[in-house]
């Protein structure tokens, strides 16, 4: 089949005081689409990708092309662009499949007139089996009892096939980076940061149950790629001129044995490669951090979320402030830069608990920080705690807008609160370094 995959454009504003404006989906190509493209190509399908990050005018692109089916990727930030993209594709009489984080957490999108199929969850099996069914039958209708996983469709009602996960993630084809405008992404990195960087996914799933976290795509079952499977992808990226890699795992450091094994391979190969990852504060230790540093790790992002114990308990974070302090101290001693992620304005946050968080952010003295407002993503426990959603998905932009009715803050107060947190942290850092800038901390 001839299949078109579309990444809609995204016009979310940059975070204040953090980065210069860059193309909205930059700096990383969406790995989910790369995996879908690879899975389809592996089954012999002719795949074309239209990446709205850099390409414009999807209508002209489709005109005159032979396309059998179109797939559209979407996060919550793509909502408005998703609907417009589907309308454009339908104007060319194309069957439309949508997938990604937004359709997975909000499968009600199947009711849109311009959507024929929706993939809720991991998409490799769903899209390849759907393509196989259509190619074999010539029909875009799904028979009763279909074994296509994770698929939602319309046929005299809404139907949802059973949800499954890819158990053996080593069995997946490597992400299809050749079908993207790879050089354009790298040019953005070069222009704004002076080096090239891209993402790599070495595991899927996270077993923790933070109340704000969306698990609709990868779920809570942790599945890790083997070191033997990861290394060829790293070699490929080095050959493509990549200077640094971001491991985009939800929780890179969950399996200490695997991390140490990967670090040993990286050291053995002498790749001269810097890399970043994200971690909980309670899933690493001194040995792991020192080994990671020797293997090229230069930056870790930690989900701290709050500096108030009651708020940490409310969001079910599962760590205490002492664990945060210990992790940040050990990472500093290992020579790894530390970024602290904080969310201000949970439903139970008050002016005092927010102040506690800002004070705590300064007390642990991270190299960089990100402050944001909570987003009640559909299906999360947080979404059930929010009584009134005041803004649509089109306002779920970069976690900088308050999109629900808060008992203690107006929308303006909450958004100003985040801006002030950035300003206060920057002023704090500039006491020791007058030239400090958050965008320089990569």
Q: 68, 74, 67, 90: which is closest to 33 by C-alpha?
A: 74
Angstrom distance (rounded) from CA 327 to CA 341: 14
The per-residue pLDDT for 439 is 72
The per-residue pLDDT for 78 is 85
Tokens 């001269």 belong to: 272
Q: Which residues pair with 343 in a beta bridge?
A: 372
CA distance readout (Å), 3 to 60, 81, 95, 127:
17, 20, 10, 10
Tokens 């083997």 belong to: 226
Tokens 């790995």 belong to: 31
pTM above 0.85, yes or no: yes
Angstrom distance (rounded) from CA 341 to CA 357: 11
Contact indicator for 280, 249 with CB cutoff of 8 Å:
no
User: Domain locations in the chain?
Assistant: 2-153, 196-440
Q: Which listed CATH number (3.40.50.2300, 1.10.3860.10, 3.30.9.10, 3.90.1150.10) goes with 2-153?
A: 3.40.50.2300
**Angle, in degrees to the nearest 10, between helices 321-334 and 286-294:** 30
Cite the beta strand spans of 52-169 per DSSP E.
69-73, 96-99, 117-119, 151-154, 158-160
Percent helix, strand and coil across the chain, each rounded to 5?
40, 15, 45
The per-residue pLDDT for 24 is 42
- Name every residue whose Cβ is closer than 8 Å to that of residue 168 and which is 6 or more positions away in sequence: 223
The per-residue pLDDT for 393 is 67
The per-residue pLDDT for 133 is 95
Contact indicator for 216, 100 with CB cutoff of 8 Å:
no
Angstrom distance (rounded) from CA 255 to CA 407: 40
DSSP assignment string, 221-288: --EE--HHHHHHHHHHHHHTT--EEEE--S-TTS-HHHHHHHHHHHHHHT---EEEEEE-TTS--HHH
Give the end-to-end CA distance of the chain in Å, rounded to a whole number: 42
- Name every residue whose Cβ is closer than 8 Å to that of residue 241 and which is 6 or more positions away in sequence: 186, 196
Angstrom distance (rounded) from CA 63 to CA 55: 15
The overall longest dimension of the chain from CA atoms, in Å, is 69
Angstrom distance (rounded) from CA 193 to CA 360: 29
Q: Which residues pair with 117 in a beta bridge?
A: 97, 153
Contact indicator for 197, 22 with CB cutoff of 8 Å:
no
Tokens 């069914």 belong to: 133
96-129 as b/e, with b when 16 or more CB fall inside 10 Å? bbbbbbbbbbbbebbebebbbbbbbbbbbbbbbb
Q: Around Cβ 139, how many Cβ atoms within 10 Å?
A: 9
Q: Which two tokens stand for residue 77?
A: 């930030």
280 class by beta-carbon count within 10 Å (0-12 exposed, 13-18 middle, 19+ buried): buried
The per-residue pLDDT for 191 is 86
Q: Which two tokens stand for residue 115?
A: 């959507």
What SS3 state is found at 396? coil
Tokens 């704004």 belong to: 192
228 class by beta-carbon count within 10 Å (0-12 exposed, 13-18 middle, 19+ buried): exposed
* Per-residue confidence in pLDDT tens, the chain, 442 aa: 999 999 998 755 444 444 333 444 447 889 999 999 999 999 999 999 999 988 889 999 999 899 999 999 998 888 889 999 999 999 999 999 999 999 999 999 999 999 999 999 999 999 999 999 999 999 999 988 889 999 999 998 999 999 999 999 999 999 999 888 788 889 888 888 889 999 999 999 999 999 999 999 999 999 999 999 999 999 999 999 999 999 999 999 999 999 999 999 999 999 999 999 999 999 999 999 999 999 999 999 999 999 999 999 999 999 999 999 999 999 999 999 999 999 999 999 999 999 999 999 999 999 999 999 999 999 999 999 986 766 666 666 556 788 899 999 999 999 999 999 999 999 999 999 999 988 776 6
The per-residue pLDDT for 58 is 97
The per-residue pLDDT for 183 is 86
Q: Which listed CATH number (2.40.440.10, 3.20.20.70, 2.40.160.40, 1.20.5.510) goes with 196-440?
A: 3.20.20.70
The per-residue pLDDT for 20 is 39
Contact indicator for 358, 387 with CB cutoff of 8 Å:
no
Q: Around Cβ 440, how many Cβ atoms within 10 Å?
A: 12
The per-residue pLDDT for 16 is 42
Count CA atoms within 13 Å of residue 206 on its CB side.
Answer: 20
């Amino acid at each position: 089949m001839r299949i078109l995959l579309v990444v809609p454009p995204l016009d979310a504003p940059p975070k204040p005081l953090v980065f210069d404006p860059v193309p909205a989906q930059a700096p990383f190509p969406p790995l989910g689409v790369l995996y879908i493209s690879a899975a389809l190509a592996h089954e012999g399908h002719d795949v074309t990708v239209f990446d709205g990050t850099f390409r414009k005018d999807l209508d002209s692109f489709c005109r005159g092309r032979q396309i059998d089916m179109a797939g559209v990727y979407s996060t919550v930030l793509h909502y408005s662009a998703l609907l417009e993209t589907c309308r454009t594709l339908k104007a060319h009489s194309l069957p439309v499949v949508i997938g990604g984080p937004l359709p997975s957490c909000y499968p009600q999108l199947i009711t849109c007139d311009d959507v024929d199929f929706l993939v809720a969850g991991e998409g490799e099996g769903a899209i390849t089996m759907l393509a196989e069914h259509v190619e074999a039958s010539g029909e875009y209708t799904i028979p009763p009892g279909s074994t296509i996983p994770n698929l939602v469709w319309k046929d005299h009602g809404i139907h949802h096939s059973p949800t499954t996960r890819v158990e053996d993630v080593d069995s997946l084809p490597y992400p299809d980076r050749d079908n993207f405008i790879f050089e354009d992404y790298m040019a953005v990195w070069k222009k704004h940061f002076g080096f090239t960087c891209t993402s790599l996914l070495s595991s899927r799933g996270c077993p923790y149950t933070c109340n704000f976290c969306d698990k609709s795509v990868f779920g809570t079952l942790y599945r890790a790629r083997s070191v033997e499977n990861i290394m060829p992808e790293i070699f490929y990226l080095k050959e493509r001129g990549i200077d640094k890699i971001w491991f985009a795992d939800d929780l890179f450091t969950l399996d200490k044995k695997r991390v140490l094994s990967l670090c040993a391979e990286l050291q053995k190969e002498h790749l001269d490669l810097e890399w970043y990852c994200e971690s909980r504060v309670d899933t690493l230790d001194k040995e792991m951090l020192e080994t990671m540093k020797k293997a090229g790790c230069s930056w870790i992002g930690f989900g701290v979320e709050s500096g108030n114990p009651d708020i940490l308990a409310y969001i079910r974070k599962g760590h205490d402030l002492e664990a945060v302090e210990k992790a940040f101290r050990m990472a500093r001693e290992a020579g790894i830069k530390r970024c602290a992620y904080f969310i201000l304005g949970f439903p139970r946050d008050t002016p005092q608990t927010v102040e506690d968080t800002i004070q705590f952010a300064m007390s642990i003295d991270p190299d960089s920080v990100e402050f944001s407002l909570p987003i009640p993503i559909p299906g999360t426990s947080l979404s059930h705690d929010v009584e009134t959603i005041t803004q649509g998905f089109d306002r779920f932009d970069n976690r900088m807008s308050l999109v629900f009715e808060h008992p203690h803050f107006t929308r303006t107060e909450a958004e100003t609160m985040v801006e002030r947190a950035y300003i206060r942290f920057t002023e704090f850092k500039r006491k020791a370094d007058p030239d400090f800038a958050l965008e320089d901390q990569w």
